[in-house]
Structure formats: C-alpha cells, structure tokens
Amino acid sequence: MTHSQNIFPTKEAAIDTTALRVAIADVEAAAMRLAGVANQTPVLTSRTVNQRTNSQVFFKCENFQRTGSFKFRGAYNALAQVSKEQRQRGILTFSSGNHSQAIALSGKLNGIHTTIVMPDDAPAVKQEATRSYGAEVILYNRLETTREAMAQSLVIERQMTLIPPFDHPHVVAGQGTAAKELIEEVGSLDLLLVPCGGGGLLSGSAIAARSLSPKCRVIGVEPERAMDATCSFHTKTLHTVHNPDTIADGARTPNLGNITFPLVLHYVDDMVAVSETAILNAMFFLWERLKIVVEPTGALAAAALLENVVTAPNARIGVIISGGNVDLQKFRQLFS
C-alpha cells in the first residue's frame, strides 16, 4: 500500500476555485504593518549548493523569524486588523505548533488576550512556550474530539474571534511578505520553491512572486506521506489526507483551505512531493553546510532541490526555509 492511498477527494460542498480573496495589494499592506515588528530574515547562499545544482540558490531563512517560523508574519498581520470589539473579547486559534506561538506573541504585542486550543499530547516545550507569551492554553483529547469542534464551541461560548492557522486572507497576506522580502533583496527569480502544509505560505508567496518577478515559476513542496495538496493541484479537486505519518509535522494538515485552494490553483505553477529520507538529508545538509537548525517542514523546499526532485540548471532559485522549531532531543533522535 502506498501512502497516497490514504488520500481521498474531500466530501464537502464544492469550492469556488475562482474566488481569489488575496491580492498583491494585501501583501504590500501586510509588509507595512510588519515593518519594524517582524524580523527581515537573512538570505543565505552556498557555493556547494550552487555547484551541486548548477544554479544560483538563495535561501530565505524564516527559522530566524520571531517565534522561529514564518507564522509570525500572518498571525501579526491578522491580529493587527481586528476590531476594538474583537480585541475586547479576545482571539482564539487551534494549533499544536508554530501558529500557536505566533498568535500568542502577536496577541501580547497588540494587547489582546489569546486562547490556544492544543492537543494534550502536544510537546510540553511548545505548550510552555505558548503560555510564556501570555496565552491561555486549553488542551483536548484527540481521541474524543477534534480541534475544530473544540474551537467552535469556545467561539460560541466566549464570543471570541477565530484566526485559523492558514485559511484566512490576512494570514495569507502576511505570509506572502517573506517572498516579497526575498525578491526585493536578491532581484528577480526564475524559480521559487516553497513548503506547503495548508497552503498559506505557498499561496502568499506565489502572489508576491507573480507581481514582483512575473517570469518566476512557483512550486510547492510537501511530504510524499501527506501529498493531499499535490493531488488537489493536479486533479483540480480538493483532496484530504487522514492522519499522515510524516516527520514534517507542519504539513500534517488534512487539506488545503477554502481560501488557499483557489489561490494555489491560480498562482502556483506546480506541486511536488519528497520522501522522508529526502527531508532528513536536507535537514542534515543545512545544519552541516549552512550551520542552521531547520525543522522537517522547514526543509521541504530545500529537499526538493537537493534531491533533484526539481531541477533548473543555470537558474536563479529562491528556497524558503519556513522554520526552525525542532526540539533538540528530537533532532538528535532523527540523526541517531
């Protein structure tokens, strides 16, 4: 049995794939809100990578972003736009990873109470990091309920505003600022490789690239064990993956969203998937050669390039490293 056999067409109302709810003007506005707040993360290069790929490669390192991932961009952009009434009632989200910390810190910076719904088996270090930013953490049992159901009950009970991890126009616009920064710093690109989970970073990046570097091809990368977006892209029908067994925890999202799916279809040129071994090899390479710690999901785009899943000789290639929040104990286990 292949892992792709766990992926099925989504049984829900058809999505209007022509409904594009984010444009370059939204990304530009997000960049203004984030100026002086988000880190303008470094762009690294490697002669070894250039020689290995016969191209010029630029790594946009969002592992150096606040809270350790690109998620801070979208979270802050979303919270900066909530109404006075929404601020008073508070913001709610569900996440076991980077989005939870991003919302918590963004809430702290904006003076907004935040509540995070997390599974009770989420790493203690992530629970504590989220609480350290002042957020209220509510735990749930994965076997008894879903995070969406728990969050929805809290929205009704507390009248809070839900900011989901990726399927929100302000979140997508904020994520697009990473690619905007990259292209403005290094110039036009021929190819941009972007990790894909729920599609927020991918769609935002593609919007920015289409405007700032029109000839640039944008390719999304996800794990072979969670290639719902790849199936969705190539069939033009939304697919869902159930509990994918991949080390790339940020890409374990069941499917693209109502907002991100149409954007991916419209702006993205291709989708590819990489193996678990390729992800580990990329993490190790980035650690050994670029001297940076990158989480599995953060290494997806680099894996596609380094393992020749995508080739583009004599090209200028942008690679987004989406985050670096890997537990050091887990990091050691991965390479033991």
Question: Residue ranges of the domains in the chain?
Answer: 3-69+169-334, 72-162
Alpha-carbon gap, residue 187 to 184, rounded angstroms:
6
215 is catalytic: no
Which of 148-162, 222-236, 257-271, 294-308 has the weakest average pLDDT? 148-162
pLDDT of 4 strictly over 70: no
List the CATH code of the domain at 3-69+169-334: 3.40.50.1100
Range list of β-strands (E), 201-248: 217-223, 239-241
Closest CA to 52 of 299, 282, 332, 325: 282
Q: Judge if 3-69+169-334 and 72-162 fold alike in CATH terms.
A: yes
pLDDT exceeds cutoff 60 at 5? no
Question: What CATH number has the domain spanning 72-162?
Answer: 3.40.50.1100
Separation in Å, CA 113 to CA 101, 160, 262: 13, 10, 32
Q: What is the pLDDT of residues 134-160, one digit of tens each?
A: 999 999 887 788 888 889 899 999 999
Set 60, 71, 126, 180: catalytic member? 71
Residue 55 is among the residues annotated as catalytic for this protein: no
The DSSP H or E segment spanning 147 is: helix 147-158
> What are the Cα distances from residue 197, in Å, to 176, 250, 297?
15, 6, 8
pTM comes to 0.94
Candidate list 95, 96, 203, 211, residue with the active-site label: 96
